[in-house]
Homo-oligomer: A and B are copies of this chain.
Amino acid sequence: METLADIGEDELIRRLVRGLKQDASVIAGPGDDCAVVKGSRDLLLLKTDTVVEGVHFTPDTPGRLVGRKAMARVISDFAAMAATPRHALITLIAPPQTAVKRVLEVYAGLRAMAESFGVNIVGGETSTGSQLILTVSMTGTAPNQKWVSRNRARAGDALYVTGRLGGSIRGRHLRFHPRMQEAHWISRHLPVHAMMDISDGLAKDLPRLAAASGLGFSVDLPSLPRSPGCTPEQAWGDGEDYELLLAISARTPRKQLAAWHTAFPKLPLTRIGTLVEKHAAPLATPGGWEHFR
């Protein structure tokens, strides 16, 4: 089997970027010291994210799904801001004995996901390392300087999540579809004060959202929308759902909320709790995913 050690860095990069699709905003893609893209009058958003073999996927995970996941995770963060991802840089770290075929499959997954969201891959970096690691760094824009942060929530705001939570490890963590369309709909149609994607699990991410606004929270555990076969504890603690968590005004008219179900008839939008003043007692259920611990 042909390995990275057989073909080396330059030939690898040639194969990776062959036929790469780029739109008219790209002035110089891979091959120079930096990529050059057209600036814009909108705000610029930046995000980087990494998937590591043994942590986010296994040596048995099909390459296409590894690439798909690496790209989708970052796109999901742009969705969480109701922003539009535009240009990506890919860092690939791999042992020299990695099969070239696997790396090409990983890239095929990255490229397919990028293309389906209008993202241009404009460059990257390759290096030797002891395990397969993919880092995707991305820029994007906020149309009309409008974006949804996670720190403008107010005490009394209602907490909602899209979709169903828990059990992502059974496969959805590799196949989820970033909630881009849904997030832009929410930004346009609901009085949303704060939003984020749930990547480390509600147990980790909800406290982060509340803390960013200087608030506490209360959650009704049994009310969590659960994936089939999951307990409320799994819906609360499991990571990698990549659903949206949002705080909206508690006075949002029912009619506005009902419009969601017309726009997205197959995807639930569920009220799970309330943001409260910081010193009100939060629901302290341990769980969620935190790196290093």
* A126 on the B face (CB < 8 A): yes
A33 to B78, Cβ gap below 8 A? yes
A113 is an interface residue with CB less than 8 A from chain B = no
- B38, A44: Cβ atoms closer than 8 Å: yes
Q: Are B44 and A37 in contact (CB under 8 A)?
A: yes
Chain A contacts with B in 44-96, Cβ cutoff 8 A? 44-50, 52, 54-56, 77-78, 80-81, 83, 87, 89-91, 93-94, 96
Q: How many copies does the complex hold?
A: 2
Q: Quick check: A46 and B149 within 8 Å, CB to CB?
A: no
Query: Across the interface, do B91 and A126 meet the contact criterion of CB distance under 8 Å?
Result: no
A292's partner among B45, B55, B128, B147 (CB-CB below 8 A) is B128
A48 near B124 (CB under 8 angstroms)? Answer: yes
* With contact pairs A80-B33, A129-B133, A149-B28 given, residues A43 and B50 touching in the complex (Cβ less than 8 Å): no
Excluding A4-B292, A32-B150, 9 further A-B contacts by CB distance (< 8 Å) are: A33-B150, A35-B47, A36-B45, A39-B39, A39-B42, A52-B129, A55-B128, A91-B91, A127-B291
Point out residues on A near B: beta carbons under 8 Å: 4-5, 7-10, 12, 27-28, 31-50, 52, 54-56, 77-78, 80-81, 83, 87, 89-91, 93-94, 96, 122-131, 133, 135, 137, 139-142, 147, 149-151, 196-197, 208, 212, 290-293
Closest 8 CB pairs of A and B: A137-B137, A33-B77, A4-B292, A33-B80, A34-B47, A48-B89, A34-B45, A9-B291
